[in-house]
Structure formats: structure tokens, C-alpha cells
Structure 1
Amino acid sequence: MMENVETLNVDTLFDQGLERYQAGESPADLIPVFKEVCDRASKSSSAWTCLSWLYLLEDKPNSAIKAAQKAVKLNPQDPQARVNLSIAMLEKGQKGVRQHIEVATQLVMAVPELKEEVEKNFADGLNRKPDWEHAQRVYNWIFGS
């Protein structure tokens, strides 16, 4: 029997969304899943971070900015949320990117696990979207390559 989205608890829904993403499912198919998670767990910064990343992969910087801003507000210590916000701001030509880059850089340099995770996410994003100029630029700023 297929489980209905309504009957799944929000953590299960989130985990399944991540698994589907890692299995290569398209961001467009997963946006509704993560929107549902964000609706049901509006204080989950990781859900907002994931949603903003999916929007970025789908060339929806306006939506990405809104989701990333919520993620940063909920968890200012999440470098990925700040990376996503920086990329979205660059894609919209907005000012104020430097402060987010500086905080993300400090966080990834201070915590090896965060550095590894953020690097892995960049690799994944650039693999899915090879000519992603703004992601490459943010990566270079943070990791200095």
C-alpha cells in the first residue's frame, strides 16, 4: 500500500525527499515535497535550506532567496543556508552577499564536518548544473580556489 503524504510524519517525508534527491530525482519533482515539509515544520531550517537549493537548481532565484532567508533566520550558524542565499542574491544582482560569504567561510573553516558537507553539496550542484557560474564563484570565494 502506498503511503499518502498526509499520513507520513514530517521527518519521514524529509528523509524520503533527501533519499530521492540523492538517487538523482529531479529538483522540480522534489520541490513540492520540501514545500510540504516547510509548511508542516516551518521552524526547520534544514528543510528551508533544502528547498532553497532545489529552487536554485531550477533557476528560481526569487523563491530561493525567500527560502534561504528563512533558513538563515532560523539557523544563522548554517553555512549551507548562507551559501544558498549568496548564490540566489548573485543571480538576482542583489547587494549584501559579502557578509554571508564571510560568515559561511568562518563556519566551514571552524568545523571540518560542515566544510566537508558544504564541499559535497557544491560538487553535487555543479555536477547537476555544470555551467553554474554563481555557485562556482561562491565556492571559489569560500574555499579560495
Structure 2
Amino acid sequence: MTDSLETAFEEGLERYKQGESPATLIPHFKQICDCAPKNAPAWACLAWLYLLDEKPALALKAAQKSVKLDGRPPQSRVNLALAMLDNGSTGVRVHIEAAQQIISLDKNIRDDVADNIEDGLTRKPDWKSLQRVKDWLFSA
């Protein structure tokens, strides 16, 4: 990713952390994905924003792209599982198990995923599929 795209990505993350709405951030991350279509983290962020903005079909496409580009980050797997649940798709277990395996290996990664889930539940408290994923990942 070029410096300007990296700067745009970091700026988008900061805006998200400051509480900007997913609806206003989606075009920002969509543009990053359009300019850097092989950037898995940007696709993961876009999927998360679509999920928060009640656009599960778009989230599914973005999450699939993120996992296809790089299936190692557990947050990408979590996003894909969420999008699949929100779309009524099958095959969620494989992504939950992959995320469980990865977070079991590194406490910092586990903490990051847990923090992201809590952030999602704060921004969208009635998100049933996120609560299910949280239970699957952290109640074992």
C-alpha cells in the first residue's frame, strides 16, 4: 500500500475510534479498497462497517474478499462468520473454529478480538449474531 493509502487507512481507523458513524466511513474504506484491492485489512474494516450499518449482503462480499486475501487474521474470520449469520448462510463453524485456534495462540490477538466484539456490542447493542460469536469464542 502506498503512503497515501496507508495514511488514509490510519485516518479512517482514527475516525472510527473517535465515534464517527459507519455510514460516513463506508465510502472512505470503499475508496481504499478500490485503490488497493489486495489489501485484506481494508476489506475487513469495510465488512465490519457494513455489518454495523445493517448491510449484511455487502458485508459478506467484503468479508469473503478479506479472508480470501489473507485468512490468518481472526477478525477477518469473525467478520465473515457474522456476515454469514446475518445473511442466514451455512458454514459458519469453520470460520469460528479458525478464529478460536488463532486467538488461543496469542493473548494480545485474543484481547484485540475481544475488544472489537465489545466495541461492536456498544455500537449495536442488540446485535444477536455478535453475541453468539462472542459466546462461541470466549465461553469455552
- The alpha carbon displacement at 1:90 in A equals 0.6
| The one of 73, 77, 81 aligned to 2:72 | 77
Q: Which residue of 2 aligns with 1:4?
A: none
Higher helix share: 2
| The one of 10, 24, 27 aligned to 1:29 | 24
The one-letter amino acid of 1:87's match is: L
Q: Which residue of 2 aligns with 1:144?
A: 139
Equivalents in 2 of 1:109, 1:40: separation in Å?
34
The CA RMSD over aligned residues, in Å, is 1.0
Written as runs of structure 1 = structure 2, the 5 A alignment for 1:1-145 is 9-144=4-139
SS at match of 2:54: coil
Equivalents in 2 of 1:77, 1:111: separation in Å?
13
- The alpha carbon displacement at 1:111 in A equals 1.6
Deviations 1:87-109 (A, max 9, x none): 11111111000000000000011
Query: Percent same amino acid at aligned positions?
Result: 54
Aligned residue pairs, count: 138
The one-letter amino acid of 1:35's match is: K
The one-letter amino acid of 1:64's match is: A
- The alpha carbon displacement at 1:144 in A equals 1.4
- The alpha carbon displacement at 1:114 in A equals 1.1
Equivalents in 2 of 1:26, 1:81: separation in Å?
20
Equivalents in 1 of 2:118, 2:134: separation in Å?
10
Please give the TM-score of this superposition, normalised by the length of structure 2.
0.96
SS at match of 1:94: coil
SS at match of 1:106: helix
Equivalents in 2 of 1:111, 1:122: separation in Å?
17
The one-letter amino acid of 2:51's match is: L
The unaligned stretches of length 5 or more in structure 1 are 1-7
Equivalents in 2 of 1:111, 1:35: separation in Å?
30
Larger radius of gyration: 1
Equivalents in 1 of 2:21, 2:40: separation in Å?
22
- The alpha carbon displacement at 1:41 in A equals 1.1
